[in-house]
Copies of this chain bind each other. A is one copy, B any other.
Amino acid sequence: MEQKSAPKSVIRRLPMYLRILDDLLANDVEIVSSRELSDETGFTAEQIRKDLAFFGAFGTRGTGYNTSFLRDKILKIIGLDEQTNIIVVGAGHLGIALTRFNIRQNPYVNVVAIFDIDPNVIGKKIADIEVMPASKMKEISVKHDVKVAVLTVPSEHAQTAAEDIVKSGIRVIFNFSLSKLYVPSSVYIHNADLSIELQSLIYYATSRVVI
């Protein structure tokens, strides 16, 4: 396996910059300094300059970044300059919540279908998106060139669902199930580990140190 060029941590920060740039553009702010981006994100200005320099130098020393140009650059780097088709696998409470949330909030992705194995939910609509049988996953995914699957099924079905996803030609899984998934190494799995996040929060809740 070749090493990816940009570290995960950098890729994870880019959408945060993007959100701020969106806000700035909505307020007609044409230039932004790394210092201002630092104030908004909490990352150091040095870190931000380093992150952005990773993809080429976009800023002007002493002036800052052109907001619109930087936004376009980041969209291109991430791959958000065109809408990305995704699917949601699992139409339970989590699948429903994420679909609604996602549809409302995220202009860069398009949920083409939700898949489930329960005949009681297949055919229903969630936020205007049809719930389809898992057996149709490959057909739909190929047709719409689906790039990402959001996996929200219960643990006991997660591995089977992951295999369906891989067979459908999808290479990125955002895994909300609690299972460890076994997939080919060409598939990238990102675990949404809410339990881990919650545990680390308890440190702030119980430690005596001032936050």
Residues in chain A within 8 A of chain B (CB atoms)? 1-2, 4-6, 11-12, 14-16, 18-19, 77-80, 84, 86, 92-94, 96-98, 100-102, 104-106, 108-109, 147-148, 150, 152, 171-172, 174, 178, 186, 188, 190, 192-207, 209-211
Residues of B within 8 A of A94 (CB): 93-94, 97, 101
Taking A19-B196, A84-B205, A190-B197 as given, write out 7 further A-B residue pairs in contact, using a Cβ cutoff of 8 Å, ordered by the A residue number: A2-B210, A4-B211, A15-B200, A93-B96, A102-B198, A172-B201, A192-B197
Q: How far is A16 from B193 in the complex, measured between Cα atoms in Å?
A: 10
Inter-subunit contact B205/A79 (CB<8 Å): yes
Residues of B within 8 A of A108 (CB): 199, 202
CB distance from A183 to the nearest CB of B (A): 12
Q: How many chain copies?
A: 2
Inter-subunit contact B201/A174 (CB<8 Å): yes
Inter-subunit contact B205/A147 (CB<8 Å): yes
Q: How far is A199 from B35 in the complex, measured between Cα atoms in Å?
A: 24
Residues of B within 8 A of A105 (CB): 178, 195
CB distance from A137 to the nearest CB of B (A): 16
CB distance from A199 to the nearest CB of B (A): 4
Residues of B within 8 A of A197 (CB): 12, 174, 190, 192
Residues of B within 8 A of A202 (CB): 78-80, 84, 108-109, 147-148, 172
Return the chain B residue nearest A78 by Cβ.
Answer: B203
